Structure 1
């Protein structure tokens, strides 16, 4: 295993230490600092940028050819860290603890070390890993938020008020769909340096707000969380593919929800978020749209079409079809054929 030692703050000096450890140099693009991973070590880059008010952002987009450990040991109070794993895997532990915290795709953790203890992160060999890390100097950050922090919920206040690091802090979860959209926006932005810094600062604060909303949601202790997670969004997409491929034989939507690992409530919430309708309404739409295509493009009987699109009742199929297309299935077919002959 290769090991790097980072013994500096702020992020400019963090990037410089990483570059020294990798036996390379870093690039300064105005207030952004970038180290490209040397070919003998791996691929990708690590970027850092500091903003006013004690907030900074580190972005790891890299793959290492051997296991790599980076130890952050500064000899002073470390920043509060919000880490998000977009891809790959990362292991984290506090400097004086052997307890490992695993961070995989769509997971996030909030960590603060105790006293002057540092952080140790491990990258697995030949695994492309994408990590966003919000870094907050609590003393600087709190100076501008003292009144607001006093009036916020205790569960949120405790993350920030321990600015002298009397206790360690650890939280893990699955990051929300909104956070996933923020990361996507960051990855495709193409602003110049002036606009880029403003954009990244605004996105960093959005990340912080959304993470705190999510943390508050998790702190409520409900088994069925109110906020849709990125992993759950992927489960909804998987459910859609199941519906399409098994449209003629689906026994129940409850079984689909179980197969993709969602509760019935989260399953329905997901469909309403993405499609503005319930899962049952979405499935009916798929069935009726397929039925319309079969009526137009095949000579299959109404019973064959009814069976192929997954309706048990001919009368119910006719009722729903007429509600959407303002005609019966047979009338719709005849009308289309008549129009085609006239053309």
Structure 2
């Protein structure tokens, strides 16, 4: 028998409390966090929700349910902005105008009209993992008001709709970098205050990167081109190769052949998933790894240069300064000063 839950979306807390009641299970509450396990008779899994300041809240869910489940958000006078990021098996999003299948690494950012319900449909016996962000824009206004003038027109219009009067719908892929941030969120081992600060920081980092993707794709001529799931898997393989072989110089063509894609598909996939080219992504990973080595290793700058597959120390210095506004030598001195102070 299918499970149907009609839920008030005034707050993350309301969503989780009502969903736990529908599923017939108890919840645990600790300060700003609520969680519950899926009853064994229905399947296996866990729901975790956290409310942060300024009207921002998240739900992280990881479960397998033995009955099809439909989650319906009620019609409300004030509608929050919702960002739904799918990390596993397909999920269906349905409103009055759309019926969208969300594959892995696909998302929707939505706000309904005042007379509209929204539905998320989860299939039975499929591994479901999603990260859901809800933003009450009226409360969020005080967080972003000083930056409004620097935002793009699209983003300003979206965040300025404080009561959610205007219907909004956006569907697109999100980057593997965002998926990694969510994984860091899931696996955080900190506790108490440090955990709270870390998780809130990761949530804002996800929001920032996602909104930047939205702005970039809005300004891109190819923003609506879809990527096949098989191609996404191969692009993930390419990312793994890049990160494993940072000391090697690898061409885009050679990388494409190794993962079984043509060069154009690999390039367009990186543009959609990372808003950057393959070569720019490789360069950024090398420079980030170099920064980590400067902080934590005893290698000198020349050794680090070769460690990241760059043959010219001056070229490495140029790239590093473009990224971090200091030279590697200056950054290394800063790191040593910090270490000596903490010793």
Tell me the TM-score normalised to structure 2 length. 0.68
The whole-number CA distance in structure 1 between the counterparts of 2:176 and 2:91 is: 21
Say if 2:232 is the partner of 1:205: no
Structure 2, unpaired ranges of 5+: 242-252, 287-310, 312-343
2:49 alignment partner, SS class: strand
| Contact 1:77/1:116, CA 8 A, preserved across alignment | no
Say if 2:98 is the partner of 1:93: no
The whole-number CA distance in structure 2 between the counterparts of 1:36 and 1:277 is: 38
How many residues were matched structurally?
A: 264
The whole-number CA distance in structure 2 between the counterparts of 1:271 and 1:257 is: 16
> Over aligned residues, Cα RMSD in angstroms?
3.2
| Contact 2:235/2:270, CA 8 A, preserved across alignment | no
| Contact 2:69/2:124, CA 8 A, preserved across alignment | yes
Residue pairs, 1:1-343, within 5 angstroms: 1-7=2-8, 9-73=10-74, 75-94=76-95, 97=96, 99-223=98-222, 234-236=233-235, 238=237, 253=254, 256-258=260-262, 261-263=265-267, 266=270, 269-270=277-278, 273-274=281-282
Gap change, CA 1:259 and 1:137, over 3 Å in 2: same
Gap change, CA 1:50 and 1:239, over 3 Å in 2: closer
The whole-number CA distance in structure 2 between the counterparts of 1:231 and 1:189 is: 30
The whole-number CA distance in structure 2 between the counterparts of 1:200 and 1:160 is: 22
Deviation at 1:176, TM superposition (A): 1.2
Deviation at 1:257, TM superposition (A): 3.4
The whole-number CA distance in structure 1 between the counterparts of 2:160 and 2:115 is: 16
| Contact 1:82/1:133, CA 8 A, preserved across alignment | yes
2:189 alignment partner, SS class: coil
| Contact 1:233/1:270, CA 8 A, preserved across alignment | no
| Contact 1:77/1:117, CA 8 A, preserved across alignment | no
Decide which moves more: 230-239 or 15-24. 230-239
The whole-number CA distance in structure 1 between the counterparts of 2:285 and 2:192 is: 42
The whole-number CA distance in structure 1 between the counterparts of 2:36 and 2:110 is: 24
| Contact 2:50/2:57, CA 8 A, preserved across alignment | yes
Deviation at 1:49, TM superposition (A): 0.8
The whole-number CA distance in structure 2 between the counterparts of 1:21 and 1:46 is: 13
The whole-number CA distance in structure 1 between the counterparts of 2:269 and 2:92 is: 32
Decide which moves more: 79-88 or 98-107. 98-107
1:139 alignment partner, SS class: helix
Deviation at 1:187, TM superposition (A): 1.9
Structure 1, unpaired ranges of 5+: 243-251, 279-322, 324-343
Gap change, CA 1:136 and 1:241, over 3 Å in 2: closer
1:208 alignment partner, SS class: helix
